[in-house]
Amino acid sequence: MTAQVFTVTSGKGGVGKTTAVANLATALAMDGKRVVCIDGDIGLRNLDVVMGLENRIVYDIVDVIEGRCKLKQAMIRDKHYPEMHLIPAAQTRDKNAVSPSDMVRICNDLKPDADFIIIDSPAGIERGFRNAIAAADRVLVVTNPEVSAVRDADRVVGILEAEEKSNPALIINRLNPALVKNNDMLSAEDVLDLLGIRLIGIVPEDETVIIGSNRGTPIVTDVKSRAGMAFRNIAKRLQGDDVPFMDLAPQSGLWNAIQRLAGRK
């Protein structure tokens, strides 16, 4: 079996690409899959921090490309899931150190020994983005329910269409059901209506996600977190399972109060 390559991208920065990569990869690893994450953000690496692997880095992707180490040496094993690996970005180089054909070659070398390869794309639509999508079998577009993020996502979808990277899937991140209900935030329907691509998941706003990122423990491992649940569902859908979408209607009254007291809201 050969691995499927997913690239996570967004156009706009700060919408949660890296968080999505860390959580989806961890969720897939929790399901027993062999996963390799590649940080495509050369020069601004941070996937290693979010995955809690920063102090294990010896070699990075540019070392592999420039032949200073073997591919296996640059693969960092995860602390909790031995079947999950990270290939970190170089912090001291820029995106020109990598070319689209380098990415394709690395992915081809990884494919026989993995089930999923997940590439974290940098923000923007420049060289780094083109590197990140070069090897992709499927592209996951992350956006927030904000006008500016959706417009950038639309631009990215247009480029993907032009590059014949067909069938991108959409992740709407940080949706706040209470704000949507009061018409203070775009709804998932508004976003889908504009982008017109397939939805693969909606992740509710959840402050524990940031805490998880800072601690280097993706929220997806917390069985009680609703955002973690959303990421686990997306991971199932990536594996081809048909999982129903979560009900994100704001919970009212007592249940909401209890949740808030429990610190999960």
Partner 1 sequence: MNIIMDSTTAIVQIKGIRDGLLATFADSAWEDQRGALMDQITERSAFFQGARLAMDVGTQVLKVNDLVELRDWLSERNITLWAVVSESPTTESTAQLLGLATRISKPRPEEARHVLETIPDDTALFVAKTVRSGTRIEYPGHVVVFGDVNPGAEIIADGNVIVWGRVRGVIHAGAKGNREAFICALDLSANQVRIAGETSAMLKPQKDPRPEVASINKEGKLQAELWHPGDNTPRK
- CB 161 to partner 1: min, Å: 8
d(CA 137, CA 199): 17
Interacting span for partner 1 (CB under 8 A) from 22-30, 137-145, 146-154, 226-234: 146-154
Could you say which of 72, 158, 181, 214 contacts partner 1 (CB under 8 A)?
A: 158
Contact characters 164-183, partner 1, x per CB under 8 A: x-------------------
State the Cα–Cα distance between residues 23 and 17, nearest whole angstrom. Answer: 10
Residue 1 near partner 1 by CB under 8 A: no
Residue 94 is a binding residue for partner 1 (CB under 8 A) = no
Would you count residue 151 as binding partner 1 (CB under 8 A)? Answer: yes
Kind plus residue range of the DSSP H or E element containing 260: helix 253-261
Residue 207 near partner 1 by CB under 8 A: no
Binding of residue 100 to partner 1 (CB under 8 A): yes
Shortest Cβ distance from residue 19 to partner 1 (Å)? 24
Residue 196 engages partner 1 in binding (rule: CB under 8 A): yes
Task: Say if CB 136 and CB 4 are below 8 A apart.
Answer: no
The only residue of 38, 117, 123, 157 in contact with partner 1, by rule CB under 8 A: 157
- Decide: 9 and 18 in contact? Cβ < 8 Å: no
**CB–CB of 7/132 below 8 Å?**
yes
Distance CA 230, CA 77 (A): 25
Q: Which long-range contacts (CB under 8 A, 24 or more apart) does 240-248 make?
A: 245/201, 245/202, 246/202, 246/204, 248/175, 248/177, 248/202, 248/204
Per CB under 8 A, 99 contacts partner 1: yes
String marking each residue 119-138 x if it binds partner 1 according to CB under 8 A: --------x--x--------
Contact criterion met (CB below 8 Å) for 53 and 79: yes
Interacting residue ranges for partner 1, rule: CB under 8 A: 96, 99-101, 127, 130, 147, 151-152, 154-155, 157-159, 161-164, 194, 196
